[in-house]
């Protein structure tokens, strides 16, 4: 659809969930006159052909300078970077499309306050389930377009540019024989996850640490690489894992797909990160330590759900995988 748009397009995003699909979409489209802006810098930008202008300029100044015919945004929360562009587009009669990369927090992605819900001219959704959730949240069904996720198609063709040894050296891990568990938790503390779900990334991390402490000999060769979400308040994670040699908090500049590719297993809760791991043919565990009334991605059948009772046996199984 974008290939048919002949005017100037301004792309704006903040979170990786919006950035990656938009950058992949640009690569598969035949558009020429465009500008890509973000308020954040990520290592994966270098994997794509488009240049991303990381800026602190005001959105209204960017729009005034570039004069786009279409503004295409990601959808982030709690960041309002995307929302500022949507609001300005709607207020200035500029066509506006937005991409929704997940099934959760549909309203938060488009609310500027408790009562105002922004509705772009087109809302691109990854599947029918996302569309259904959006309609249930009072979005105009006529504005919804099922696009799939362009990033997933792009990812199927991706290969790392560094060797495993170089990757291990980059994270200061010299033992190439270690079993690597990549833990990529959603930042549930940002949304009162303990109250909403009964657990969060910090309680789950403590569960893992206690398990390692109780099974020190069996898990001696295992390393847990923690890939924090960009919205994660890392200081609390750092406090929990201090002096825990089996746990490594990866730096922000450690490339995500490379981390997935060289890990033996990927673990998380509800993130689309887990879908990406499956695309890269990784075994996936979803750690859900308490019974849940609502599982945001239950219908997707992503990975295997484990809890405190069976997580150890599932980790130890790594030793016998080919």
pLDDT of residue 4: 65
CA-closest candidate to residue 268, choices 286, 282, 280 = 286
CB contact at 8 A, 12 and 74: yes
pTM to 2 decimal places? 0.85
Query: From the centroid of its chain, how far is CA 245?
Result: 26
Residue 31 — φ and ψ, nearest 5°?
-100, 150
Residue 182 CA to residue 278 CA, distance in Å, equals 13
pLDDT in tens, 154-191: 999 999 999 999 999 999 997 778 899 999 999 999 98
As a whole number of angstroms, the distance between CA 215 and CA 280 comes to 30
Specify the pairing of strand 179-183 against strand 222-226: parallel
- Which residue positions in the chain have pLDDT lower than 70? 1, 3-5, 322
d(CA 49, CA 32): 12
In the three-class reduction of DSSP (H, G, I as helix; E, B as strand; rest coil), residue 71 is classed as strand
Q: Which of 52, 48, 99 is nearest to 76 (CA)?
A: 99
What's residue 78's pLDDT? 72
Q: Which tokens is 18 given?
A: 């919006």
């Amino acid at each position: 659809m974008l290939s048919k748009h002949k005017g100037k397009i301004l792309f704006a995003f903040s979170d990786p969930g919006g950035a990656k699909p938009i950058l992949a979409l640009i690569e598969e489209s035949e558009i020429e006159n465009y500008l890509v802006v973000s308020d954040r810098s990520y290592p994966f930008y270098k994997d794509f052909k488009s240049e991303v202008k990381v800026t602190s300029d005001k959105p209204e100044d960017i729009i005034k300078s570039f004069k786009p015919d279409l503004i295409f945004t990601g959808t982030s929360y709690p960041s309002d970077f995307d929302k500022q562009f949507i609001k300005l587009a709607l207020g200035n009669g500029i066509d506006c499309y937005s991409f929704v990369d997940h099934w959760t927090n549909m309203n938060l992605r488009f609310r500027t306050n408790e009562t105002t819900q922004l509705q772009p001219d087109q809302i691109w959704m990854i599947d029918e389930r996302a569309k259904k959730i959006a309609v249930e949240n009072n979005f105009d069904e006529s504005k919804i377009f099922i696009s799939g996720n362009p990033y997933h198609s792009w990812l199927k063709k991706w290969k790392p540019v560094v060797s495993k040894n170089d990757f291990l050296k980059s994270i200061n891990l010299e033992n190439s024989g270690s079993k690597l568990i990549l833990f990529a938790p959603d930042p549930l503390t940002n949304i009162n996850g303990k109250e909403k779900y009964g657990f969060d990334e910090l309680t789950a991390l403590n569960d893992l640490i206690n398990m390692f402490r109780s099974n020190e000999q069996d898990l001696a060769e295992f390393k847990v690489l923690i890939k924090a979400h960009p919205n994660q308040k890392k200081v609390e994670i750092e406090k929990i894992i201090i002096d825990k040699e089996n746990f490594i908090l990866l730096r922000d500049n450690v490339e995500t797909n490379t981390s997935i590719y060289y890990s033996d297993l990927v673990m998380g809760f509800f993130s689309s990160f887990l879908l990406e791991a499956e695309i890269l043919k990784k075994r996936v565990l979803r750690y859900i330590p308490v019974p849940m009334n609502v599982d945001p991605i239950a219908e997707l059948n992503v990975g295997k759900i484990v809890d405190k009772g069976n997580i150890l046996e599932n980790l130890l199984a790594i030793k016998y995988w080919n």
